[in-house]
A and B are shown apart, each in its own frame.
Chain A
Amino acid sequence: MAKINLKLLKKEAAKKVKKAQNLKELDKIFKKYLGKQGKLTQILRSLKKLPKEKRKKIGGEANSLKSFLEKIIEEKRKTLEKKSQEELNKKEWMDVTLPGKKIQIGHLHPLTQTKREVENIFQSLGFSVVEGPEIENEWYNFDALNIPKDHPARDMWDTLYLKPQKLLLRTHTSPVQIRYLERNQPPLRIIVPGRVYRREATDASHEINFYQVEGLMVDRKGKVSVANFKAIIEEFVKRFFGQSVQIRLRPSFFPFTEPSFEVDISCVVCSQKGCSTCQGTGWIEAMGAGMVHPNVFKNAGLNPQEWQGFAFGMGMDRLAMMKYKINDIRLFYGGDLRFLNQF
């Protein structure tokens, strides 16, 4: 009997395993034959009641049936698992090329970002960042800077005056040189970022208000020279625009420096191949600079026999325009989020 039973069992179970559609069904089949109460388990359990001879024979057959069933169930399981994973994959497929959900974030103004970068570079070179008022008087804005009254040189700075006092909107950040020298004993190194004003019609490269950054380094006579200026400013330019950028100095005139020079940088747009930004020259005017004029020291209450130094000034807007390749300064002051959100 038992023999027939086993054969039948094998046939029946194999058929069922073959038919199983999913893992759940396969589990049921496993339980039915190989579970604690499973048919084959029961047969194996009943063996001990049989005489030794019979037990040995049937036991052997039952055990081989057990491993057979385990094997085919395992094989089936693998097939079904693979199949179900494929189905799942199909269901979970998504288009990764769909655009991500827009996150609304804020943006800092490009001039703020430029200002921070400039400040960081100069701070790391030992310069403190100081500021001054935007409303100035003629003394600080002109006279103390060796720009005498009744002199056409003042025309270099188109000035906005205020009613009713004899006050004006500073035309450069240079007044802060005097203000700082009056209250601080050299040696010193400062930069002065800030908003300045010019009485000019606005166009793509001119704004009535814009930003400058001024620099001043003063030390004992013989301690700070044009050569030192070159090193500091080269370092700044390389860190701000990139290592490949070169500088050159050429003669210029500012009443508050002597000697004075203009600093050009090699064109960051075309790498000196010649383009519209540098008007084909390969160089862009970047800043005015020079060695502090003895009269400036005098006017700030310092002895020019004792001290010397360099000063420079550049347009922050221009730096930002070069860096981000912006061609119209007015974009900075228009509040247009289509522009600002790009930064």
Chain B
Amino acid sequence: MLFSYKWLESLIEGKIPKPQKLAELLTMHSFEVEEIEKRGQDFVLDIAVLPDRGSDCLSHLGIAREISAILRKKLKELKREKLKTIKGKIKPIKLKIGCPRLVSRYSAIVLENVKIASSPRWLRERLKSLGLRSVNNVVDLTNFIMLETGQPLHAFDYDKIKGQKIIIRLSKKGEKLITLDDKKHTLDKDILVIEDQNRLIDLVGIMGGKNSEVDFKTKNIVLQAGNFDRWTIYQGIKKLNFSTQAANIYIHGFDPNLSILALERIHYLFKKLSQGQIVQIIDVYPKKVKLSKIKLDLKHVENLLGIKISANEIKNILTHLHFNVTRKSKVILEVKVPTWRLDISISEDLIEEIGRISGFQKIPSLFPTVALIPPQKNLNIFWENLNKDILKEAGFSEVYNSSFINKKEAEISNFKLTKLIEVKNPTSLDYQYLRPSLIPKLLINARDNLKNFQDIRIFELGKVFKEKSGSRRNSISSKTLGYRSGGRKDKSLAGEKRMLSGLISGDSFYELKGVIDLFLEKLGIVDVYYDNFQPTPETSEMMIWNLQKCAEIKIGNSEVGFLGEIKSDILRKLKIKEKIIVFDLDFEKLQKLADEQHEYRPISQYPAAIRDIALLVPREVRVADVLNVIERVGGGTIIDVDLFDIYEGEELPMGKKNLAFHLIYQAENKTLSSKEIDAIQKKIIKALEKNREWEVRR
């Protein structure tokens, strides 16, 4: 909100610092001053009043109180005039409050024979410097009072209120009203309004109606100072998508005791500008707000702030903020809270006041002197770091993508929309669904980067989201979940889990498979194997893979992920010309299987021997099947099998391929004789040739 430096100055006894210095003080003790602008003879400060202080500081009086406390100077008393009625000629206003719960106070004065004119220069300039247009003396004064005291006022032309009726109630859907700024509003239900005999005349707390506006012909007026339910006004401006400075004050709520003060103040100023006589005072204030008391333990002040501030200094600070302080004992103060400080209810609130006015910069830096408790190791983060490092070493770059995908991205990747978690209020359709997989965005990364790079290797480790089965039925009531028994459940509320996915561009299935092998080995996972994928109708989401060129990655009995080429039609839709090979690993499973205990295996002192086997097999035979045989028969003496050549060509019989392996023999406890090796080799050949279509070439 904008504040006039001169105006603030006029409210304080004595001199105040120059604008720049004042701004610094306010920033360090109260609220951030975001901008200072010179306007004519005045300076305008843009002050970001904190949300909890909207109730008392969206006014010059409020900020002046802050300044007076910071400078320890006195505030000037605002000149006011007691409200007294004289007998008038016009009929009294009949007030009816249809929703008493929403009106904590309704004060108004009715004035007869007012003289509407242009405002005097001082008033016009005050308003102008803060960007308000001058209308006439009445309207300008109501604005002035609002900016000064924080009590929004509204003036009705008495003679335009039909039947002298003011009925405050909630709107019905479809009711219409044109506001002072000529905007037409069609209302939703439950917006606070004022109706006269038969039409709406005010959007309460937001803006008055055009139909009851004060103009230069106006003779009699009703000046209203209300205090309305902040939540209702708040919802009102949301429903209307329309707000005003007054509404901004109302949504914070403020002290109901302010209404009469504001009317007395306007009455004082009014008498000078426009004669007019009060003929009626309305003041409905069913539940008077009283001062509350807080016990303040001085030891607690010191405990919390970490600095000792003397009782006198505390008293001094609080008194300048208009708290009433009584010393009850050596360590206890009783503090009465002024009714406008809606933000103060516990002693910690007072400690904040003491801390900030005294100055947070005065608090020293002191390391805590507490028991040394070593931090716990976070295994999730340990494994994430390790995995990321391995992939980085393998030449992969890490990307972070958005957690959202749009409909098109979901459809291209064949995800069923009904299985996705949908965002209720996305800012744009690009953020309509939570990502069920990291792959769609990775493919887009690949496409975009292929414009600048030939060889893409990227990965991401992040959360994916899927509807938990059955979660709709036992939908979580946030209360029960939080309060007692349920609160202990620290499980995720919907299906979210970490995935580790990555891709490589080009026709490089085996290269990526090699990376995965290396990667799993580094994690200490040994019993990994790859299996052809058998799709079922439910596994629609697997339909991103080229089924001829994809494999399930299995460890023991559990499937931990996928490796394969992306289907060509998906690539075509994404306008990717290269082949893309992707891995997609369930990181939660992987982490469970990974073993940090990386054990050193002694290097055998005995020499290794290499024998080769060339095997002619039908094309569709899988290398894994051949390896299984070799390893089963070879047992512990074969420490490694290395496939060094695959050949399919003209010299070979149709439909056959030749596989060539190095078999590496080594024992840990002795030198294997060539006799021993030959015997095992023979056994292996025999086992391989049990299969009639397999032929070991000699």
- Chain A contact residues, CB within 8 Å of chain B: 104-109, 111-112, 116, 119, 123, 126-140, 143-144, 150-153, 156, 160-167, 169, 178-179, 182-183, 187-189, 195, 197, 199-201, 208-209, 217, 219, 221-228, 230-232, 234-235, 248-253, 255, 258-262, 291, 293-294, 299, 301, 308, 332-338, 340-341
Contact = CB atoms under 8 A, between A and B. Distances in A.
8 contacts: A109-B399, A129-B381, A143-B479, A152-B230, A167-B493, A189-B373, A253-B51, A259-B305
A261 B29 CA distance: 10
A143 B482 contact: yes
B84 to A, nearest CB: 38
A97 B453 CA distance: 25
The 7 tightest CB contacts between A and B, nearest first, are A227-B306, A225-B306, A139-B482, A259-B352, A335-B445, A106-B392, A249-B360
Interface of B: 27-32, 50-53, 230-231, 234, 251-252, 299, 303-307, 346, 348-349, 351-352, 355-356, 360-361, 363-376, 378, 380-381, 385, 388-389, 391-404, 421-427, 431, 434, 441-442, 444-445, 448-449, 452-453, 455-458, 462-463, 465, 471-472, 475-479, 481-483, 487-488, 490-494, 496
Given A187-B370, A224-B368, A259-B355, A160 B423 contact: yes
Contacts of B403: 134, 169, 195, 197, 209
Contacts of B371: 187
A126 B368 CA distance: 11
Contacts of A105: 392, 395
B422 to A, nearest CB: 4
Given A152-B251, A160-B423, A232 B367 contact: yes
Given A143-B479, A165-B494, 11 more contacts: A105-B392, A144-B482, A163-B423, A235-B367, A249-B363, A251-B31, A259-B305, A260-B352, A261-B356, A294-B346, A299-B482
B471 A332 contact: no
A156 B426 CA distance: 17
A200 B426 CA distance: 9
A119 B404 contact: no
Contact of B378 (A131, A143, A182): A131
A250 B357 CA distance: 10
A293 B348 contact: yes
Given A106-B391, A129-B381, A227 B27 contact: no
A134 B305 contact: no
B448 A336 contact: yes
Contacts of B425: 160-161, 199
A258 B494 contact: no
Contacts of A138: 478
A165 B370 CA distance: 43
Nearest to B34: A279
Contact of A291 (B251, B348, B491): B348
B245 to A, nearest CB: 15
A85 B106 CA distance: 107
Contact of B476 (A151, A165, A261): A165
Contacts of A189: 373, 375
Contacts of A341: 397
Most interface-central of A126, A152, A160, A182 (chain B CB within 10 A): A152
Contacts of B398: 106-109, 112, 340
B482 A228 contact: no
B458 A129 contact: no
A164 B381 CA distance: 32
A221 B301 CA distance: 11
A167 B346 CA distance: 31
Contacts of B361: 248-249
A302 to B, nearest CB: 12
Contacts of A199: 425-427
A166 B364 CA distance: 44
Contacts, number: 278
A162 B424 contact: yes
A208 B487 contact: no
Given A226-B306, A253-B52, A335-B445, A133 B492 contact: yes
Nearest to A258: B348
A333 B391 contact: no
A340 B299 CA distance: 52
A137 B448 contact: no
B490 to A, nearest CB: 5
A139 B366 contact: no
Contacts of B396: 106
Given A126-B374, A337-B453, A208 B368 contact: no
A179 to B, nearest CB: 5
A131 B380 contact: yes
A340 B471 CA distance: 38
Contacts of B488: 182-183
Contacts of A133: 491-493, 496
B371 to A, nearest CB: 7
Given A133-B492, A335-B401, A250 B360 contact: yes
Nearest to B48: A252
Contacts of A131: 378, 380-381
A106 B395 contact: yes
Contact of B427 (A129, A195, A200): A200
B360 A251 contact: yes
A230 B363 contact: yes
Most interface-central of B306, B385, B421 (chain A CB within 10 A): B306
A231 to B, nearest CB: 4
A105 B392 CA distance: 7
B423 A201 contact: no
A231 B478 contact: no
A112 B398 CA distance: 9
B424 A161 contact: yes
A130 B378 contact: yes
Contact of B452 (A136, A167, A337): A337
Contact of B392 (A107, A162, A337): A107
A182 B303 contact: no
Nearest to A283: B27
A133 B471 CA distance: 16
A165 B374 CA distance: 40
Contact of A139 (B391, B402, B423, B481): B481
B352 A231 contact: no
A208 B431 contact: yes
B22 to A, nearest CB: 15
Most interface-central of A139, A150, A188 (chain B CB within 10 A): A139
Contacts of A299: 482
A164 to B, nearest CB: 7
A219 to B, nearest CB: 5
Contacts of A150: 231
Contacts of B32: 250, 262
B476 A164 contact: no
A261 B363 CA distance: 13
A219 B304 contact: no
A175 B113 CA distance: 60
A338 B397 CA distance: 11
A113 B356 CA distance: 36
B444 A335 contact: yes
A131 B28 CA distance: 34
A139 B393 contact: no
A135 B494 contact: yes
A251 B462 CA distance: 36
Most interface-central of B374, B402, B456 (chain A CB within 10 A): B402
A160 B425 CA distance: 6
Contacts of B388: 108, 112
Contact of B479 (A106, A139, A188, A224): A139
B214 to A, nearest CB: 30
Nearest to A225: B306
Contacts of B487: 182, 301
A193 to B, nearest CB: 8
Contacts of A169: 403, 423
Contacts of B385: 116
A231 B370 CA distance: 14
Given A107-B397, A152-B234, A208-B427, A231 B367 contact: yes
